[in-house]
Chains A and B, each alone.
Chain A
Amino acid sequence: MKNIVLILAVLFLSASYSVKLQAQTEAQKVELCSKMAGKDASYLKDFTADLPATKSNEKTQSYKFSLLLQKSTRYRITICTDDDSPGRGYVQLFDKEKMLGSSYNPQTGKEYKSFEFDCQKADAYHFFVQFVDGKAGKAIVILSYVKRL
């Protein structure tokens, strides 16, 4: 009986430690990514995209979020792919159906950790996070405020 108690106690302690570690890690990842955005940018929002791999004959998996952005404002969008993520994440920015830009250029294969967007029209904008080659992946996206234009 004493052994059972001991096992339960060990299981409980290790489970709660693991839960705490996991929670800290998620919060720390967001904080770290917000710091990656740069000292000249103020953190506004964060999003986490956690996607499975795209199967063949399937549309590319995307994580979508929409934001209202203000006119005459420069925003910075930063993406931080998890270290153990199979795929590298990138962000596409849309104004309704029109794609304004992307942190990844499939033609050249060039990837950017951040991009800046000079918003000239107060409106709703849509962001899509995908992973290169439709791989599974996990990434944090940070929206930061840079300055008024």
Chain B
Amino acid sequence: MIKKFIYLIVTIALMASCHSGGSQKSGGEFGENDSLSGDSALPVSKEAMENLVQNISSPVEIASLIKSIGVPFSQKYLAPTKIDNFNTANSKAFNLGIMATDLGYLNIYSKTSLVLQYITSIKSLADGISIGQFFDFTTLKRLATNNENIDSLMYISIHSFNVMDDYMRKHKRGNLSTLMVAGGYIEGLYIITQVAKEHPNKDINDYIGGQKTILNELMLILKNYQKDPYFAQLITEMETIKKVLEPVKITIEKGEPKSVERNGMLYIEQNTKSIITITDEQLKSIIAQTEIVRNKLIK
């Protein structure tokens, strides 16, 4: 009896330590730490390239831009929450990214009644690739059900995705993390191009044109995994969007950065800026191609 009790304690202790290792964010776990002088030249290493994936497509930024120009909420921009067809880890990770963007869009517009459907699907997809423990479903469900504290709802949603992403990177599942980012990116591009179709706006057009640079960075990261057939297919599809973004003209006006203090806050003014020139025809092609690719990828 006593022996069994000891075994039980040891087993539980081992399980507890394994679990905590995943959810904890210890600085010692970061594999990307680099030692260098702040003033030296900074070549972009492979690790840094993988890091670029971070913030490649933030639902907050896209949805805030759309909302700021007065575009009303529309559910038709969102992907369906039916997830039965996603049977592989790759497709689950990719669609997790799709839903992360949709959830961000819902949160910005405070559509808490729809949030419940999306977080249910997200939890299921995350469980399917063994990262569901990092998605704080219970708290999100409570916040959405009670229609309370949108700021907390947004914070917990984004933070949960960051923790899932972080966990996958640190546990040699960078491929799934990359797919999640790619899914989020394509959904963000889809939503904003659909908005551009119905609500022409210079800011939106500028944002879309700027994706020429961003997509180039994402393609570099995707190509790290091109031997995987799922990635190969995804790259082929994304190349078609890259092709229609290629004619967009981006010129750089160089200037010297300046740091200014105003009311106790430090502001860094870049003073180098990009000028984006995008024709109506180019925009139409980007909108059409993004729609084709996104609708194909979420099936």
Residues of A within 8 A of B (CB): 1-2, 4-5, 8-9, 12, 15-16, 19-20, 22-23, 26-27, 30-31, 34, 39, 42-46, 48-51, 58-73, 92-103, 112, 114-124, 126, 128, 130, 138, 143, 145, 147-148
- Known contacts A16-B16, A114-B265, A119-B270; decide if A45 and B162 are in contact (CB<8 Å): yes
B273 x A121 contact (CB < 8 A): yes
B60 x A65 contact (CB < 8 A): no
A30–B26 CA distance with the chains assembled, in angstroms: 12
A49–B291 CA distance with the chains assembled, in angstroms: 40
A-facing residues in B44-90 (Cβ within 8 Å): 44, 48, 51-52, 54-56, 58, 60-61, 64-65, 68
B28 x A116 contact (CB < 8 A): no
A29 to chain B: closest residue by CB: B25
A68 x B56 contact (CB < 8 A): yes
B16 x A19 contact (CB < 8 A): yes
* Closest beta carbon of chain A to B97's beta carbon, Å: 15
- Known contacts A63-B33, A65-B51, A67-B54; decide if A115 and B274 are in contact (CB<8 Å): no
State which size class the interface on B falls in. 35 or more
B214 x A62 contact (CB < 8 A): no
Residue B158, interface by CB 8 Å = yes
A12 x B34 contact (CB < 8 A): no
Query: Which residues of A have CB within 8 Å of B5?
Result: 5
Task: Give 15 A-B contacts (CB < 8 Å), ordered by A residue.
Answer: A19-B16, A19-B17, A19-B24, A46-B162, A50-B28, A59-B40, A62-B38, A63-B27, A72-B206, A120-B274, A122-B214, A123-B274, A126-B48, A145-B64, A148-B68
> Which listed residue, B44, B158, B210, B252, touches A43 by the CB 8 Å rule?
B158
B21 to chain A: closest residue by CB: A19
A138–B10 CA distance with the chains assembled, in angstroms: 32
B270 x A115 contact (CB < 8 A): no
- Known contacts A63-B33, A148-B64, A148-B68; decide if A122 and B210 are in contact (CB<8 Å): yes
Residue B159, interface by CB 8 Å = yes
Query: Which residues of A have CB within 8 Å of B34?
Result: 62-64
